[in-house]
A = this chain, B = another copy of it.
Amino acid sequence: MAPTSETLTAERILEATEEVLRRHGPAKATVVDVARALGVSHGSVYRHFRTKAALREAVTKRWLDRTSGELSGIVAADRDPETRLRDWLAALFAAKRRKAGDDPELFATYTVLTDENGTAVGEHIADLTSQLTRIIEAGVATGDFAAIDPEATARAVFQATGRFHDPCYAREWEEPGAESDFRAVVDLLVRGLRP
């Protein structure tokens, strides 16, 4: 982490914060650590982020947005709605599971944020639900799905698959039955969506 002499931007701070979080975990990462990693005083960090919570939230938001981005490709894909729905849910499960495994410390940060009821997590969920809504609307349009209220239905699908994307279940994602449990739930939900 050689302190570059480039101007200090929010982006560079987020980069450094992510690195510090990865190394120290959410409980031990301090703003002073971040400033040290950047070779600046911690006061400078506060010029870009009002509080430590705001910084943590910004890092998490960036991290969550990467997932949303991956998934949005599936929403727009050129396939029948049922396949898109199955792919989307599978991709969400895979992405969360991968993040929990590869970046345990960042994942812990995300979990902390969930508990704190930050807006970033709420927005992420709203974003994902809206992607789901679009897939379901497409299915209603083609006659593949029957849903009176696509948005409520999307929320129901999202909540019903919580076990496979909600951080509070992260421990169980690596257990043997997880994959087949996932298929069973998705099959049931897809059957429920059909006219």
- The tally of residues in A whose CB lies under 8 Å from a CB in B reads 24
Stretch at the interface among A52-60, A95-103, A155-163: A155-163
A155 and B168 form a contact (CB under 8 A): no
**A12-29 contacts to B (CB < 8 Å):** none
Q: Tell me which residues across on chain B come within 8 A of A50, comparing CB atoms.
A: none
**Is A79 positioned at the interface, with any CB of B under 8 Å from its CB?**
no
User: Given A160-B160, A161-B160, is A153 in contact with B192 using a C-beta cutoff of 8 Å?
Assistant: no
Q: Tell me which residues across on chain B come within 8 A of A189, comparing CB atoms.
A: 160, 188-189, 192
A38 to chain B, nearest CB (A): 36
In the complex, per-residue mask of A159-192: 1 if CB is within 8 Å of any chain B CB, else 0: 1111100101100000000001100110111111
**Is A90 positioned at the interface, with any CB of B under 8 Å from its CB?**
no
**Is A32 positioned at the interface, with any CB of B under 8 Å from its CB?**
no
Q: Tell me, in angstroms, the Cα distance from A156 to B169 when the chains sit together.
A: 15
Q: Tell me which residues across on chain B come within 8 A of A169, comparing CB atoms.
A: 162, 168
Q: Tell me, in angstroms, the Cα distance from A168 to B185 when the chains sit together.
A: 20
**Is A193 positioned at the interface, with any CB of B under 8 Å from its CB?**
yes
A44 to chain B, nearest CB (A): 37
A156 and B185 form a contact (CB under 8 A): yes
* A188: contacting residue among B162, B180, B187, B192, CB under 8 A: B192
Which among A152, A156, A161, A187 has the greatest number of chain B C-beta atoms within 10 A?
A: A156
* A163: contacting residue among B162, B180, B184, B187, CB under 8 A: B162
Q: Which 10 A-B pairs have the closest CB atoms?
A: A192-B192, A156-B184, A191-B192, A160-B160, A188-B192, A168-B168, A156-B185, A159-B163, A156-B188, A160-B185
Q: A159-B163, A159-B181, A188-B189 are in contact. List 9 more A-B contacts (CB 8 A).
A: A152-B184, A156-B185, A156-B187, A160-B188, A168-B168, A188-B193, A189-B189, A191-B193, A192-B193
